Structure 1
Amino acid sequence: MKLNHQQAEDAIAQLRAAYAAFNRGDIDSAVRFLDPRIEWIEPAEFPGGGTYLGLEGAKQYLTQSRAGAAQVISEPEQFITSKDRIVVFVHARVLPKGSSTWSEARLADVYTFRDGRATNMRAFAKREDALRWAGVTASSKP
């Protein structure tokens, strides 16, 4: 299924709100747009990497990903729609507890939408891997 223009705009608005909620530490609001049967996949090289199922699984991952940090900022930089998926380029910055040094990475999250809710989230350390997985080709990039 392909998202139409309005569905894509609505999904992007949900994603913006979710990232803002995560940055505030409001995990319940961050997962509000997820399908109750969400499959949340983080790569093995990420702390806590693995597959998390359902809203409770997504909450568990998001909560533990903030646990060792004094501050976390996950800033969406770009949204790319491909069929029923939205690729989000993210600039992630983390200030570990007890440290004055920020770590940062530019990565990508890919959300698959069905009936207005994200049914799958897959994170990628390399943005080009996310684009390839989502089926985005050079000619389909904005």
Structure 2
Amino acid sequence: MSQQLAVLQDAYKCFERGDIDTVMKYIAEDVEWRVVGPASVPFGGTRRGRQAVAEYFRQLAEGDEITGHEVREVIDAGDKFVVLGHVKANVRATGKPYETEWVHIVTMKDGLLTRWIEFFDTAARQC
């Protein structure tokens, strides 16, 4: 297993147990972080830099209560990864549950995430 893959897997495990402080240690200072979707997704859009990613995690926690998060497959292409998974959550504003599969495209350099892009079924979240 490559060092990059080990770091990536640990970052997801930390996220799944709610350890965002450790996740942040794996984020590069000049990271590009993007959630593709409509403006109605409160944690959507593009962010640049570690502080902006910290804000993403704050907005995500405020918007959704994640009740299940699972990485199902990781495709390793050296410094680039495609991560396939599934999430179950409740929209805090409405209390309504949703679940969807997701895809993350991740670029890493020197053990840090430098680019992260998420695609998920945003219509499922709009319960």
Match of 1:38 among 31, 44, 53: 31
Structure with bigger helix share is 1
Aligned counterpart, 1:125: 120
- Normalising by structure 1, we get a TM-score of 0.71
Aligned counterpart, 1:19: 12
Structure with bigger strand share is 2
Percent identity among equivalent residues?
A: 26
Q: Encode CA deviations 1:22-70: one digit per residue, 9 max, x unaligned.
A: 2333221122112111110111337222111111111111221121333
| Larger of the two Rg values belongs to structure | 1
Give the total of aligned pairs.
Answer: 118
Structure 1 gap segments, 5+ residues each:
1-5, 127-142
Q: Encode CA deviations 1:75-114: one digit per residue, 9 max, x unaligned.
A: 1110001242011002111123473x53111011111111
- Normalising by structure 2, we get a TM-score of 0.78
The 3-state SS of whatever aligns with 1:15 is helix
Distance change >3 Å, CA 50–CA 29, structure 1 → 2: same
Check whether the contact 1:38–1:120 (CA below 8 A) recurs between aligned residues.
yes
Root-mean-square deviation (Å): 2.2
User: After TM superposition, which residue ranges in structure 1, 4 or more long, deviate above 4 angstroms?
Assistant: none
